Chains A and B, each alone.
Chain A
Amino acid sequence: GAVVSQHPSRVICKSGTSVKIECRSLDFQATTMFWYRQFPKQSLMLMATSNEGSKATYEQGVEKDKFLINHASLTLSTLTVTSAHPEDSSFYICSARSGSGGTYNEQFFGPGTRLTVL
């Protein structure tokens, strides 16, 4: 149980293009979903938190117009990196929290998406 998938696993794009990353909770309904980015040999940095049907809450320093988050259903959240630039190249990971049952507080992570902007 508690499986989270991400698609795509890797993406290479040209500078100035937009990239959409999908995050799905496969066997539970995700009350809250989170988006992180991770640089090599660094820990996870929370970018934003989203609740289904609500606007995302962004961490300080994260541009909400650049990183668009949509949490349209209890099983799907998307992160769109708009007008991507090489400095946006990173490992993006989503997580989901069910908010019910015995896993009330745990976050379960997807496998991550490696974004490379040329």
Chain B
Amino acid sequence: EDQVTQSPEALRLQEGESSSLNCSYTVSGLRGLFWYRQDPGKGPEFLFTLYSAGEEKEKERLKATLTKKESFLHITAPKPEDSATYLCAVHGSGGSNYKLTFGKGTLLTVNP
């Protein structure tokens, strides 16, 4: 069974204070690791897909990296508008029909 553990559960940063969120996973045959952002009362917004160890993707202040056991979401010089819950999910070869297994998320708060 695929498993995803995200840490920390919550993170408070000052504006401009860079940090990283962690996503550790156990999966039989990774077909994709996904990062989403979710604002309160809204559906998740797609950020990145990573497929293989060593892969990196960037978007504005966010950079996602992947190893064989974990992924990091690096946030550089965050702004208050980056405050949200960040979700990590995996799709493994053992899962049917492109099923994603989600972690519980990291609630990021960026104070001005």
The residues of A with any CB-CB pair to B shorter than 8 Å are: 2, 4, 6, 32, 34, 42-44, 46, 49, 51, 57, 91, 93, 95, 97, 105-112, 114
Contacts of B104 in A (CB 8 A): 42-43
Q: Give the distance in Å from the alpha carbon of A110 to the alpha carbon of B36 in the complex.
A: 13
Contact A57 B96 (CB under 8 A): yes
A44 partner, pick from B32, B41, B44, B97, beta carbons under 8 A: B44
Shortest Cβ gap from A89 to chain B (Å)? 14
Contact A93 B44 (CB under 8 A): yes
Main SS of the interface on chain A?
strand
Contact B36 A46 (CB under 8 A): no
Contacts of B45 in A (CB 8 A): 109
B46 partner, pick from A42, A46, A51, A109, beta carbons under 8 A: A109
Contact B97 A32 (CB under 8 A): yes
With A105-B32, A105-B91, A112-B42 as contacts: A43 and B103 at CB distance below 8 Å: yes
Contact A108 B87 (CB under 8 A): no
Contacts of B41 in A (CB 8 A): 91, 112, 114
Of all A-B residue pairs in the complex, the 9 with the closest CB atoms, nearest first, are A109-B43, A49-B97, A43-B102, A43-B104, A112-B43, A109-B44, A105-B32, A93-B43, A111-B43
Q: Give the distance in Å from the alpha carbon of A110 to the alpha carbon of B49 in the complex.
A: 18
Shortest Cβ gap from A48 to chain B (Å)? 10
Shortest Cβ gap from A43 to chain B (Å)? 5
Shortest Cβ gap from A25 to chain B (Å)? 13
Shortest Cβ gap from A7 to chain B (Å)? 13
B97 partner, pick from A42, A51, A95, beta carbons under 8 A: A51
Q: Give the distance in Å from the alpha carbon of A34 to the alpha carbon of B91 in the complex.
A: 14
CB contacts under 8 Å to A, within B72-110, are 87, 91, 96-100, 102-105
With A109-B36, A109-B43 as contacts: A43 and B87 at CB distance below 8 Å: yes
Contact B49 A106 (CB under 8 A): yes
Q: Give the distance in Å from the alpha carbon of A93 to the alpha carbon of B38 in the complex.
A: 12
CB contacts under 8 Å to A, within B24-61, are 31-32, 34, 36, 41-46, 49
